Amino acid sequence: MEELTDRNSYVKATMADGLCVLEATTTWCTQCKAIAPFVDKMIKKYPDARFYKYDTDTADDISQELNARQMPTFHLLKDGDLMDSVTGAKAEALEKLIKESYDGKVVEGDA
């Protein structure tokens, strides 16, 4: 998963067409580490979505713009528009949001 480090990389990533999932994280966040294997599964299952993360300690301009105050927070953007977000390591809620906005192919299993 590509890491966004500043506002320019954030704008470039989120203004592209299609579904974009951003994860607000930090190096010390235990819930972020706990949900990481699930996020990896989502990356494989929804290959037409773009997944990015940013560290709220170093990319504070992004976290301020998205109002990310708890980690992890997942923001879903589609065609540049913020659709919704999930705060916390809530796997089912995250996948539900992705499914609702995803238009691409779905890869089931251990692909």
Quick check: pTM over 0.85?
Answer: yes
* Residues forming beta bridges with residue 23, ordered by sequence position: 53, 74
pLDDT in tens, 41-99: 999 999 999 999 999 999 989 988 998 888 999 999 999 999 999 999 999 999 999 99
Domains and CATH numbers, the chain: 2-96 (3.40.30.10)
Task: Give the active site residue among 19, 22, 24, 32.
Answer: 32
3-state secondary structure string, 22-35?
EEEECCCCHHHHHH
- Reported as a pLDDT band with limits 50, 70 and 90, residue 110 is low
Our answer to whether residue 29 is catalytic in this structure is: yes
Our answer to whether residue 20 is catalytic in this structure is: no
Task: Give the active site residue among 29, 39, 77, 97.
Answer: 29
